[in-house]
Amino acid sequence: MLKTRDDSETKNELNIEKVDFTLQSFGKFLRSVREARCISLRDFEDRVHKTRAYLSDIERGKNKPPDQVLLDLMISQLNVSHYPKIVNQLYDLAAVERNAVPDDLKAWIMADATNRALLRECRDKKLTSTQVTGLLKIVEGM
């Protein structure tokens, strides 16, 4: 049976094609994900226990991105945990706007001196973006 648009909206299925990965603002990207999931701001308000005004201010860039606890709740309530590209973009954009290390990386960085040494070596060797991309491809192939 074919799903109609109303069926998709009722079940809040993610239309991944509607997610705009080119957006470089946390709020705009969050709105893109929420709308791709067909979740109204009113419904999102209920899901994350924050006011529509507060959420709207975040989406419009008038308020800073949320802390890790609220961001994790948003990710959960948007049901995008199994979309690492979306989750990583949310963490990265929030961190950039807060001028901080992405919350999902802090524990890994601090867990082991070797992790910190790897990052410092890349920094100290002044690796180019192309070189880091090459390292990333090697790691992805492991």
Give me the domains of the chain, ranges plus CATH numbers: 5-99 (1.10.260.40), 112-142 (no CATH)
Tell me how many degrees the CA angle 6-82-63 measures, rounded to the nearest 5. Answer: 80
pLDDT at 96: 94
> Which residues, 6 or more positions from 116, have their beta carbon under 8 angstroms from its beta carbon?
109, 110
User: pLDDT tier at 120 (50, 70, 90 boundaries)?
Assistant: very high
Of 65, 38, 35, 28, the residue nearest 50 (C-alpha): 65
Percent of the chain with pLDDT over 90: 80
Q: Which runs of consecutive H residues, i.e. helices, occur in 84-128?
A: 84-98, 103-111, 113-124
pLDDT tens profile 36-69: 999 999 999 999 999 999 999 999 999 999 999 9
User: pLDDT tier at 23 (50, 70, 90 boundaries)?
Assistant: confident
For residue 80, with 0-12 CB atoms within 10 Å meaning exposed, 13-18 middle and 19 or more buried, which class applies? Answer: buried
Percent of the chain with pLDDT over 70: 92
Spatial separation of the C-alpha atoms in residues 141 and 12, rounded to whole Å = 34
Entry pTM: 0.79
Given a contact cutoff of 8 angstroms between Cβ atoms, the answer to whether 72 and 81 are in contact is no
pLDDT tens profile 86-110: 999 999 999 999 999 998 899 899 9
What backbone phi and psi angles, to 5 degrees, belong to 14? -80, 125
